[in-house]
Amino acid sequence: RRGRARDTAPGQQLRALFYALPPGESSFRTVEEVPDYVDKSIPFFITFIGLEFAVSWIQKRKLPGRINDGISSLSLGILSRLPDVLFRSIDLISYIYVWNNYRLFELPWDLPWTWYLTLLGVDFAYYCFHRVSHEVNILWAAHQVHHSSEDYNLFTALRQSVLQKYTSWMFNLPMALFIPPSVFAVHLQFNLLYQFWIHTEVITKLGPLEWILNTPSHHRVHHGRNPYCIDKNYGGTLIIWDRIFGTFEAEDAKVVYGLTHPVNSFDPIMLQLRPLAHIWNTFWATPGLCNKLSVIFKGPGWGPGKPRLGLPEEIPVITGKEVPFNPPVPAYLNCYALVHFAIIVDLYTELLASISMLSQGTVLLRIAFIILSLASFGLLMENKSKAGILEIIRCLVFIGVYKLGYFRSQFSFLGYAYEV
């Protein structure tokens, strides 16, 4: 990489979460100067999650989620970011390639109207991609990861798919014909960050802003499995696209969250792969080439003789008595998983901070261990019979590689405690 990303002040980073950095503070000549707003927002994610817990306890005398589901969401968030440790974002790689080879003209990177045009362009591209991800089965297999939680809180915002980014990039390419990559790189991050704070139940309605912006109320509908919620409110930052294209639905009856057919797992690997396995099995079990292709490219509710998006009457009725997947696990095991997950978060953030100083072999080893750990925690929280064996193996691997110096904590005084 040429050049160096600019640092951002805490106040700027906080405003970036709400898409509140004006053009004068977030316009850059080159991609290399664009700050990594997403990774630098991690402390704010943690702060707002703590604030949500406090407000929920004050409002309802209960916490906004469960330990097992929260760890599962955070595990999926870490898992989704691991490819970016090794490779530059495919969104940027593809965008820069089109810009360098096929651009028609170049808008000025430092003019406010270029900034605002890019805001609209990135958000409209997101609306298109998001809608297609719900209406094309193979894309839904990746995107459903984000909808698999039966809780709705700020943890859910971090519940992301590993595979989704490998299809979303295509929707941004038309902008590469005229919008500079540095401007696009800023809005790509802002659009993602904005969607963090709207994953909460502690904020009700926001008055006139509900007409223009995507808000917690609108996005609760999007995450619902009630029949009135299905395939509604696809917007990222703005809700105007849904109002224009007829996919808007206001929050009405109490929303029940999750998938219409829950996956019932906390294992991040299983949550990523099981939908793909279902498509594979359905593909081979469905007769006729056209029908096989329809399994892949029509809606997840499609079947032979049905409309492209399936039959609305086949969506399971919501009774209000739905019970989230919550296997009985001893309290000490939840505490164990929580403590060890905190260690993995420490190792992950240290990896991000020291990536430029590590050999590729060390980076791959750390990534492999993080993936092994996240899978092990998922199985522990499901109380699976073989989870204990996997966890013993994981701990022995940790002791070995930690002693050899391949792992390192951000907090040197915790080294001995980690070994214990």
Q: Which pLDDT band holds residue 2 (cuts at 50, 70, 90)?
A: very low
pLDDT at 3 over 70: no
Of 5-9, 171-175, 322-326, 372-376, give the lowest mean pLDDT range: 5-9
pLDDT at 279: 96
Alpha-helical (H) ranges within 302-330 are none
Q: Which residue has the tokens 């980076």?
A: 363
Structure confidence by residue, pLDDT tens digits, 292-312: 999 999 999 999 999 999 999
Would you give the DSSP letter of residue 227? G
Residue 249 vs residue 418, higher pLDDT: 249
Structure confidence by residue, pLDDT tens digits, 219-241: 999 999 999 999 999 999 999 99
Residue 353 vs residue 412, higher pLDDT: 353
Read off the tokens for 384. 């699976």
- What span, in angstroms and rounded, lies between the C-alpha atoms of 22 and 26? 6
Q: Which pLDDT band holds residue 1 (cuts at 50, 70, 90)?
A: very low
Buried b (16+ CB within 10 A) or exposed e, 191-209: bbbbbbbbbbbbeeeeeee
- What span, in angstroms and rounded, lies between the C-alpha atoms of 200 and 9? 26
Rounded to the nearest integer, the mean pLDDT of the chain is 93
Read off the tokens for 211. 């007409």
Average pLDDT on 120-136 reads 98
Structure confidence by residue, pLDDT tens digits, 137-170: 999 999 999 999 999 999 999 999 999 989 999 9
Q: Nearest-5° angle of CA 118, CA 119, CA 125?
A: 80
pLDDT at 5 over 70: no
Residues constituting the chain: 420
Domain coordinates of the chain in residue numbers?
Answer: 10-245, 274-314, 331-414
Total-model pTM: 0.92
Residue 262 near residue 274, CB atoms below 8 Å: no
Residue 179 near residue 110, CB atoms below 8 Å: no
Within 10 angstroms of residue 127's Cβ, the number of other Cβ atoms is 24
pLDDT at 86: 81
pLDDT at 4 over 70: no
Would you give the DSSP letter of residue 5? P
- What span, in angstroms and rounded, lies between the C-alpha atoms of 176 and 105? 10
Of 74-88, 243-257, 267-281, give the lowest mean pLDDT range: 74-88
